[in-house]
Chains A and B, each alone.
Chain A
Amino acid sequence: MTDWPLLSVIIFLPLIGGLIILLIKEDSISANNIRWSALWTSVGTFVLSCVLWLQFSYSERSYQFVEKVSWFEDFNFNYHIGVDGISLFMILLSTFLTPICILASWKSITKRVKEYMLAFLFLETVMIGMFSSIDILLFYVFFEAVLIPMYLIIGIWGGQNRIYASFKFFLYTLLGSVLMLLAIIVIYRITGVMNIEQLQGNYFNKSIQIFLWIAFFASFAVKIPMWPFHTWLPDAHVEAPTAGSVILAGVLLKMGGYGFIRFNIGMLPEATVFFTPLVMILSVIAIVYTSLVALAQSDMKKLIAYSSVAHMGIVTIGIFLVNQQGLEGAMLQMISHGIVSAALFLSVGVIYDRMHTREISFYGGLVNKMPIYSTVFMIFVLSSIGLPGTSGFIGEFLVIVGAFQFSSFVAIGAAFGIILSAIYMLYLYKRVIFGVITNNKLKEILDLDLREKIILIPLIILVLIIGILPNIFLDPMRLSIELIINNFNLANAK
């Protein structure tokens, strides 16, 4: 199979599918054809990415499925892609969530279906491309390209206040991008090397590392997002259509975590040690602060968005611990959060499609009319608050294990999340689901239909699998994470 460029096929299949969709003339009859083509394209991509996982070797430390084509030969830029244990699951997460997003928009998107599907398929291509780039410039191109479809999805298919939201989203990310571009130019000027793999370890002296670290950090901290760069996220989520929120929370936030691992930890180890206390403080603030803010929300999507910030606080703690439990916990937490937050947004989408409001006070007593929905929602809520046996627990717990080795303060901060998350999530669940129906408009509300079940049940299964058999996910990433930790420790030992 080595002569078959599997990875490139996975990257560009969605784009090709999207271009084919572009050829279909959109009218009321062919809108369904567009939907089906988009769905099959994304399902095909997912199947291929599963093949990728099956062929992935667990005993290889560095990149696999490497493809390298020269791009600008004079400048030493290459189309250079590959997969290691860290990017593997990020890619799988992207390919898994895209078909779900397309299915979730089946009925709710009725205007400009063609462009919408194209945006999602293009988004899929650039997400996978970004996670598999080995060349820094290629990474940057994909990283920035993600913004375009996302900006359009919020700006065109979003809610009433979408202009403000997309503006805020753009402003924040632009700030980070400019600094990152600057950093990439500096790296190129100093080394002339654009290969992420080669640049791992101590390549720069400490003062340059600190400058580069800040530049990369600004970019990724906005993406993930860390406190106090988080305020774009709730607005973006509220205005985005359901599928937009799913992909935003599910994959786009993970770009930040992925970047931290590849660039800040991998390339700039000395600066990382220097800045670790700052990151820990910001993360702990994020966990406590946003958990509190989440409680004060009256909009369901905003509440879940704030809970995302708190969960990402756990991830940043885990990453910057740079030990086995911390990093593996952070990775697992990213995967789990990708699934659980996506599922929570989908669950909100289910009732939003019916009632067209996300106000918590509008609802109440849904359990009487929607028993299946209530059960499904409960499972995701439980995973979000980290109940053992669900996916949310493993990552959180491993991070706490790692954190205690670093400092008891950080461990306490991370563990505090298990109390606070229970408060706002259960309070949300109580207000929406339990009680008696007092709002007359809810009297006729229908339970999940087949399409919604098909969307949500795979997510439940995954949540339980990660919770009970996390080794399936931990084993493939183990060696890659060890490599990063070894490089890091070697660099700092010097």
Chain B
Amino acid sequence: MASAIIFLPLLGFLFCFFLGHSFSFRVSQIITTTFLFVATLFSWIIFFKYLDIKDTEIYIIFNWLNSGTFSVNWSIRLDSLTTTMFIVVTTVSACVHLYSIEYMKEDASKTRFMGYLSLFTFFMLVLVSSNNLLQMFFGWEGVGLASYLLIGFWHHKDSANKAAIKAFVVNRIGDFGFALGIVGIFLIFGSINFDSIFSSLDNSNYHQERINFIGFNFPAIDLLCFLLFIGAMGKSAQLGLHTWLPDAMEGPTPVSALIHAATMVTAGVFMVARMSPLFEFANYTNLFMTFIGASTAIFAASIALTQNDIKRVIAYSTCSQLGYMFFAAGLGAYNASIFHLMTHGFFKALLFLSAGSVIHALHHEQDMRKMGGLYKKLPFTGLMMWTGSLAIIGFPYFSGYYSKESILENAYFSTSYMANFAYFVGILTALLTAFYSWRLLFLTFHGENRSEISIYEHANESSWVMKFPLLILAFGSVFVGIFFSEFFIGKLKYSFWNESIILLDQGKHYLPFVHALLIKFSVAVGVLIAAYFYFYNKNIALKFSKYFNTLYLISLNKWYIDEIYNFIIVKNYFSLADLFWKRGDQNFIDRYGPNGISKLISLSSSFFSRLQSGYLYHYAFVMLGGLVILLTWFIYY
């Protein structure tokens, strides 16, 4: 059944790739979507099996690579962590497949689109079900490829192609760290299979192991985790390597929902959780991870405040929520982190797909300044967007409430040096989250219409093909918390996780009443400010932005990070390339190498050929000179 889950999407892709064009695009759409729904069904069945205590199962498919002591299998590993990821990936993917049938109906290459979606799903499932680091890396780069293909799906758009390359290359910078981390783990532990690494860790000698790296002597586990975390930062768009994610919004909206919100970008969090037995001993890296996670959370939220593109707001919000997951993981609360991953998968996909419905209805308008008052035209979508927004800000009993509260709880009780910082930032970010979510709602659905009247008049709800996936995701956004919080973060967590990740050894604490209230209060403040700015008094936002012009511009221009990178790295990279080629290869190696030698030979030969001029008096003169020299020599000696 597990192999069916993984290989059905691959079959769907292969069908589209080889046979897709011999049939109508309908066939491809039906086949891929059906396969995904079957895979989803299977995933939920397996997930429920693993809700109770159940041993990890490993299926070995065949040996992949065998060189010396380096041996890796293609295999499937089933445990609670895998099955959790299975349901998130397949459910969101199935919804997105179905949704895309309607969303992409005017596009010329529907078959290709469905194929890519299925291919992505396959790679993602391989990633989460891997039993060793190399197969994980295969899935890891595979989802990167699918993301590249899908961001650049509209390849006639130059901006889309550029964004696709940017995404791939920035991810590769992370993968560079990941690859070195894998190699380093092999060097220290002699294996890259999870079970052997983790069982080695029982031997405390490994905890003190040190390793030489670029001339410095590091604690081995800290360094390895740091390298792995670099990979996670790339994939999960953390501060510094985040610049690709907003640009990735060039892709079609269903892609943003699936890849750049619910699944691929969470791969980094998944990897850290999967390697949690190792990360547990990496004290410095954990501090670093907490710091980066918390900084990303607030940094991305600060940008989301002022963006006008509806998709970019949600993209930065994704970035920010991933920050939450990382600081939770850095504090050792892997279960809270994964739980937030799961709830976030549902409500973020819901938000994106709802935004997609709006964009679809407005003929590909994404600028929120040209929306407004859409609630009357798109009541269903509006309702869905409200549901998603309530979930993301952590409104009580919505899914986000459980996961976010749990993360903040862990930050409050943690003894880590970074805990206070993370806790404070977490609360502040919750306020910002509430603000930008409601800003989005008000600008899009409420107030008066600012779009062209003809477009506005024709805006209407799509068919059930697009509505049904929204309903599923909305159901998830609301109820996942209520249904599963006991298993993920509550009393049943030991039997549920069953050693698939490391759990903090603390009983269930509850936040002090004041603090619990503080979180809700900050959220309420965020919502109220948004309401005041964008609903009651619209001029105040404008005044505010003028008054704090510098701050506003910094936020609007994303802290100028792209410009700085462009100025420092990209430009210099290209000019260095030119320099090496023109100065290095042409003006140095060639000039003094082969061309130099041939010039030398031709110069010297023309010099020597001058000796044989053919004139008798030249020779006679030389002979005379020689005679004089010889005579002089004889006379003196």
Contact = CB atoms under 8 A, between A and B. Distances in A.
Contact-residue size bin, chain A (C-beta under 8 Å from the other chain): 35 or more
A365 B69 CA distance: 47
Given A296-B578, A329-B67, A468-B64, A404 B155 contact: no
B168 A422 contact: yes
A231 B69 CA distance: 38
B595 to A, nearest CB: 8
Interface in B169-189: 169, 172-173, 175-176, 179-180, 183-184, 186-187
Interface string B106-144: 000000000000000000000000000010011011100
Contacts of A325: 67-68, 70
B213 interface: yes
Interface string B567-603: 0000001101110111011000110011001100000
Given A398-B70, A419-B176, A296 B581 contact: yes
Given A325-B67, A404-B187, A408-B213, A228 B589 contact: yes
Contacts of B155: 367, 433-435
Given A292-B576, A422-B169, A471-B66, A435 B138 contact: no
B183 A388 contact: no
B67 A231 contact: no
| Residue of A382, A427, A434 ringed by the most chain B CB atoms within 10 A | A434
B172 A293 contact: no
B176 to A, nearest CB: 5
B505 interface: no
Contact of B179 (A168, A397, A409, A433): A397
B63 interface: yes
Interface string B544-581: 00000000000000000000000000000110111011
A436 interface: yes
A295 interface: yes
Interface stretch (A132-140, A189-197, A273-281, A410-418): A410-418
B165 interface: yes
A427 B96 CA distance: 30
Interface in A343-399: 365, 367-368, 382, 387-389, 394, 397-398
Contacts of B214: 408-409, 412
Contact of B585 (A293, A415, A418): A293
B67 A411 contact: no
A435 B158 CA distance: 6
Given A388-B141, A418-B179, A419-B169, A474 B66 contact: yes
Contact of A293 (B69, B186, B581, B594): B581
B108 to A, nearest CB: 10
B349 to A, nearest CB: 27
Nearest to B136: A388
A405 interface: yes
Interface of B: 63-70, 134, 137-138, 140-142, 145, 148, 152, 155-156, 158, 161-162, 164-165, 168-169, 172-173, 175-176, 179-180, 183-184, 186-187, 212-215, 573-574, 576-578, 580-582, 584-585, 589-590, 593-594, 597-598
Given A325-B70, A400-B179, 14 more contacts: A171-B598, A289-B580, A292-B576, A324-B67, A389-B142, A415-B176, A418-B175, A418-B176, A426-B169, A434-B161, A435-B155, A435-B161, A436-B156, A470-B65
Nearest 7 CB-CB pairings of A with B: A324-B68, A388-B138, A296-B577, A434-B155, A292-B577, A295-B577, A296-B581
